[in-house]
Structure 1
């Protein structure tokens, strides 16, 4: 049962990412589109999904993805997490997700500083 829930969540996340990046599915202001385009160039899709998994699924992240996250930048990280956390079925726990997002950022910065 938990496995099905995880698959459903992963599918939702992928759909949310597609909707975020395909203008036909999402109305996004020009400034936000530019930021998303800039952020997407700095991080691999696998690491983006790993980051989302840490914040929304309590998964773990590799040191390599932590380095990518720090390279991506705090503004890109915050934009991605806030966009997903504001979805109707997640918004009730938005504060929790943003707290986890900050904890992930701090963890990754400490990992990057020791390398």
Structure 2
């Protein structure tokens, strides 16, 4: 249960505090693409956990990640990494996990469903 509370706090920070710390480039991308309103909070939490912690992302949330778009996905991950709360994380590792999550979700959504 404590894990859920920590993750919830991280998601809130991801969505709010990051805006103050964002570079103009990421902030501009996020604003122009209306990124912060494209995903539901449960899927934001799953995606965030799979990238910044250890976790998996459901098929449903993978669908939301793909609709969210690669531009928004990348900009929000980069903006989160700019937040001082995440200064101890390895940016290269997080970006690699972000790309892996994106590619896995894209492959899942693009793959044809098995016929019955």
Aligned equivalents of 1:72 and 1:89: distance in 2?
25
**Native 8 Å contact 2:81 2:91 kept in 1:** yes
- The answer for the alignment partner of 2:99 in structure 1 is 102
Q: Can you give the 5+ residue segments of structure 2 that lack an aligned partner in the other structure?
A: none
**Residue pairs, 1:72-91, within 5 angstroms:** 72-91=68-87
Q: Can you give the 5+ residue segments of structure 1 that lack an aligned partner in the other structure?
A: none
- Counterpart of 2:13 (choices 12, 15, 20) is 15
- The answer for the alignment partner of 2:47 in structure 1 is 51
- With the length of structure 2 as denominator, give the TM-score of the two structures: 0.76
Query: Residues 31 and 89 of structure 1: is their aligned pair in 2 closer, same or farther, counting only changes over 3 Å?
Result: closer
Aligned equivalents of 1:33 and 1:105: distance in 2?
17
SS of residue in 1 equivalent to 2:34: helix
Aligned length, in residue pairs: 108
Higher relative contact order (CA 8 A, sep 6+): 2
- With the length of structure 1 as denominator, give the TM-score of the two structures: 0.76
